[in-house]
A and B are shown apart, each in its own frame.
Chain A
Amino acid sequence: MPKPIKDNICEEQLFSSLYKKYAADLNNFLYYKYGSVLSPKDKVQEAFIKLWENCGKITPNKAKSFLFTTANNLMLNAYAHQKVVRKFEQIKPKSSTNESPEFLMQEEEYRKKLEKAISNLTEAQRVAFLMNRVEGKRFKEIAALLDISTKAVEKRIYGALKKLREDIDEL
């Protein structure tokens, strides 16, 4: 393992590069896990503030896990106070105008089922699945972010897909 050049991240430039590298992923991770009600963006900012405050104690290769753990804990703290209903903001794809009302209704119905099915997934499954499908991330990228093996990511995503299809068919 190569020895890190820096043993802390108190330098503004290094800190900024960490932000550019992880902030968006961290935001998505929190969103897929907890939804948008508890403002993932604020938690991302808070986690980075904590990272800066502890910059002297954290080496660059520990920064990622520090950020994810801290942000997750911040979310859990907020989450414990209010039992929030997970709500996902949907950006409706542009529907072409020549669709028949029947088709639109079917589509709407399908969307509702899907939403319900997604909230029924376990957190681990949902995070991995949505990172894969929405962000278009490959298994090994997700594995690196979550600090788990590629095989585990594959299992979570495939399990999520299977469960979604079962749920949608049932409903």
Chain B
Amino acid sequence: MTREELIKKWLDHDLNAEELVAFKMLKDYKALTMLDHSVKSYKASEFNTSKNLEALMSTLESKPSKSINWFSAVMKIAAVLVICFGVYFYSITRDTTINTLASNKQTITLPDASIAELNALSTLRFNDYSWDEQREVTLNGEAFFKVAKGSRFDVKTTSGIVSVLGTQFNVKQRDDYFEVTCYEGKVGVTFDNNITKLLPGDSFFILDGKFIATEKENQSVPSWLENTSRFKSIPYKEVIAEFERQHNVSVELQNIDASQLFTGSFTHNDIEIALKSITLPLHLTYSKTDNIITLKRE
């Protein structure tokens, strides 16, 4: 066996007794053992496995495990998505509300191209998002509807519900005053759980909770769309209320019976002519200061 082989075997702790003797005979045996002996002092500092494992385990316990981090990250993303979706959903499902001011009129196109003409000081609310399932508007005031053909179309007012399929009709709801006039097609009015069907020209008119019979309407659109308010045997206070809305003024009555019936009309375009139209037939005089108009008996 060569010297190199012997040394390698010694290094691998693989010498048998015979080889050990041969190894001891090598002339550099002394130098090798001396080196070996000295190298032993380069031992790594004692590694206390069980103590270090304990320390590691307590570190790991105080650290949140990776899977929980994942969970919280996913939760964060989910929360953001929920908020985004919520805001999106809230904004698309919000009701659209349209208000008109006094002496203003507005034409509104509804999601299915139905048209609503909104008279002065009125509010119309509808939901764009659920329109396909349910055609429904909430009205406070007066409006004329030209409804596109399709499913049921509801106009909700505080007095009653007006349902149609596709037609033109006018709804006026002011305090104790509720009037529906059908101009085309068929209109159903639900009032106090009773349904009344209206044919073209028919009107449904409730005043102070009482049903009032009206004559057939022969106009094709309500008069207010042509900037005129027309009245047939209507209490004078309702006429004045409409006048106030159309001209954005306030009217005071002195010694006048507000419940007397009035037949006539006034224009929305010229306040002087309008005032004359509502005072002369009843022999009244008027005086005007700023936005306050006082009516008196002659």
Contact = CB atoms under 8 A, between A and B. Distances in A.
Given A31-B44, A138-B14, A165-B35, A44 B53 contact: no
B59 A165 contact: no
A142 to B, nearest CB: 10
A161 interface: yes
Nearest to A55: B66
B206 interface: no
Interface in B31-48: 31-32, 34-45, 47
A111 interface: yes
Nearest to A136: B13
A93 B40 contact: yes
A111 B38 contact: yes
Interface of chain B, main secondary structure: helix
A149 B229 CA distance: 107
Interface residues on A, range: 35 or more
Contacts, number: 103
Contact of A23 (B34, B35, B41, B49): B49
Contacts of A40: 44
A41 B13 CA distance: 28
A131 B67 CA distance: 38
A129 B40 CA distance: 11
In this complex, the member of B13, B32, B37, B41 whose beta carbon has the largest number of chain A beta carbons within 10 angstroms is: B41
B283 interface: no
A44 B12 CA distance: 27
A89 B45 contact: yes
A36 B44 CA distance: 8
A122 interface: no
Interface string B266-281: 0000000000000000
B52 interface: yes
Given A41-B52, A56-B66, A165-B31, A139 B12 contact: yes
Interface of B: 4, 7-8, 11-14, 28, 31-32, 34-45, 47, 49-50, 52-53, 55-57, 59-60, 63, 65-67
19 contacts: A12-B57, A16-B57, A19-B53, A19-B56, A23-B52, A27-B44, A31-B44, A31-B45, A45-B52, A54-B66, A90-B41, A93-B41, A118-B39, A118-B42, A133-B40, A134-B42, A138-B14, A154-B11, A165-B35
Interface of A: 12, 16, 19-20, 23-24, 27-28, 31-32, 36, 40-41, 44-45, 48-49, 52-56, 88-93, 110-111, 114, 118, 129-130, 132-134, 136, 138-139, 154, 157-158, 161, 164-165, 168
**Sorted from nearest, which 10 A-B pairs have the closest CB atoms?**
A31-B44, A27-B47, A24-B47, A133-B39, A28-B44, A139-B12, A53-B66, A19-B53, A90-B41, A88-B42
